[in-house]
Every structure is written in C-alpha cells, then in structure tokens.
C-alpha cells in the first residue's frame, strides 16, 4: 500500500510520483492519469485548508467573545468534519494513484517512499 500523500517526506519536499517517472517506468497514460489525480488533489487540498483556516478563526472569535457553548461545539464539529475530509481526500487519492500502478511499480514506489523517511 502507498503511504498517504501528506504523510511523506517526499510531499514535504515537493516531490510526487511524477518526479520518479523514469524510475517507475510510468507509461504516458499512467503519467497523464497521475498528473490529473494530483492536480485534483492539490486543488481540493487547498480548498479544504482554506476552509479549515477560516473555521479556526471563527472558533477563536467564538471563544474570545464568550459565545454559547453550543455554538462553540458546532464550530468544533465543523472543524472536525473538515479534518476528516482532508484525511479522506488523502486516503482516496493515494488509493487511486495506487490503482494506476502495476504491482512492480507499487513496490518500487513504496521503496522510494521508505528511503525518503530515513
């Protein structure tokens, strides 16, 4: 199984599967599919991160303004739902990327990811 995208040192370094095209021997079709999956991931990631940031600001305002506990709870639940959406986006994209690779490519990608963790 692939490591989750956001949990890897490679992602933090700005590297993705696309940067290892030759090592993984990605076909043109695999490259295009991967490119689109990562484009969609980045777009949705940015949207969710912006939503989370806005929700956190609202939460802090509620607390500082002594809002009702029910309002604060609702805001915390919204924040948690956005965090869940971020994790699910990460997991679902990793699985879609994995499905686009052969067994050999998945094994090689796993080795690359493990080496980056050292």
pLDDT per residue of the chain (118 residues) written in tens, 0 to 9:
444 555 555 666 678 889 999 999 999 999 999 999 999 999 999 999 999 999 999 999 999 999 999 999 999 999 999 999 999 999 999 899 999 999 999 999 988 888 877 6
Using alpha carbons, select from 102, 111, 44, 48 the residue that is nearest to residue 80.
Answer: 48
Q: What is the value of pTM for the model shown?
A: 0.84
3-class SS shares of the chain: helix, strand, coil, % to 5: 80, 0, 20
Contact yes or no for 20/112 (Cβ under 8 A): yes
**CB-based contacts of 30, cutoff 8 Å, min separation 6:** 100, 101, 105
In three-state secondary structure terms, 35 is: helix
Q: In angstroms, how far apart are the furthest CA atoms of the chain?
A: 58
């Amino acid at each position: 199984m692939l490591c989750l995208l956001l949990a890897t040192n490679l992602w933090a370094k700005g590297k993705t599967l696309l940067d290892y095209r030759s090592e993984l021997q990605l076909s043109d079709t695999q490259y295009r599919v991967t490119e689109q999956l990562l484009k969609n991931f980045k777009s949705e990631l940015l949207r969710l991160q912006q939503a989370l940031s806005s929700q956190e600001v609202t939460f802090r305002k509620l607390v500082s303004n002594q809002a009702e506990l029910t309002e604060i709870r609702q805001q915390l639940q919204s924040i948690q739902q956005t965090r869940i959406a971020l994790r699910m986006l990460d997991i679902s994209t990793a699985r879609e990327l994995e499905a686009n690779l052969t067994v050999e490519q998945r094994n090689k990608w796993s080795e690359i990811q493990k080496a980056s963790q050292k």
